Amino acid sequence: MSDTNTSSLGGNTLCFYGAGSMAEAILRGLVEAKLTDPKNITVMNRQNAERLLQLQQQYGVVPATTDELKTSALTNADVVILGMKPKDSAAAISALKPLLRPDQLIISVIAGLSISTIHQLLGRGQPVVRTMPNTSSTIGLGATGISFSETVNDNQRKLALDMFNAVGLSAVVEEPLIEAVNGVSGSGPAYVYYLMEAMIDAGVQLGLTPEAAKDLTVQTVRGAAEMVITTGENPGELRRKVTSPNGTTQAAIETLDQFAFQEGMNKAILRCAERAREMGDAIRAEAVKG
């Protein structure tokens, strides 16, 4: 675990605008990794005060439940993390314009929202970090793509990297590749859960109890991921090693091929990235209209 004294977050104050599952995943990682004191973190949303109080009780963060508290938190924070729903983001960011200082760091976890659109909505080249994390950040095993605006200084860059490295792995990419990150890892946990659902269901159909099918599936997926990490081998090579000619695994893989499993997965990831771009276009159109 990190020491709050050596973390680049130090005494910096953070304000989470939006208190959904991704915001919780990040703040939980920061608190559990002891990168900062929970009292340096303020959370707010549009109207669900009960949710904010729940986060306060669970993590010790500060809830901003009134307009006065929200304004104070946004005005004084060193870092503002944007985590509202994409459809609400244009109006919300426009409303932030008179409250933010030009030197405040903005970190966005909003799918599709580009740095240029944030700058357009704020009317200036604010320091912006665009990220695409995933929900595995909740347990410190997240995967996050990160891009920086030109106005982000070295200290702010380190702060952002420390934040997301505290909740898993981060990869700095050129901004146009953030949609690819969304397709591969941002939505990636859902693909794996979907696969696991199918494995568990098939196990039950074959006579296993739901509990046994789940336990075996979970351990299998966990073990397969650890094998890739531990051996450093390509997943394709590991697959070939366990696929004996004319054996049971080959029969299963051939069946998946009949259903175009790999093609379906590729198309799903491409469609996810495409949908992120569509959402970004919608936010941009809203910004122009505003």
Rounded to two decimals, the pTM is 0.90
The candidate with the shortest Cα–Cα distance to 103, out of 41, 35, 155, is 155
Evaluate whether 217 touches 200 at the Cβ level (below 8 Å).
Answer: yes
18-39 tens-digit pLDDT: 999 889 989 888 888 888 999 9
124-146 tens-digit pLDDT: 999 999 999 998 988 889 999 99
Q: At 167, is the secondary structure helix, strand, or coil?
A: coil
How many angstroms separate the Cα of 3 from the Cα of each of 54, 62, 247?
26, 21, 52
- For position 290, what pLDDT does the model report? 65
Least confident of 74-78, 106-110, 163-167, 263-267: 163-167
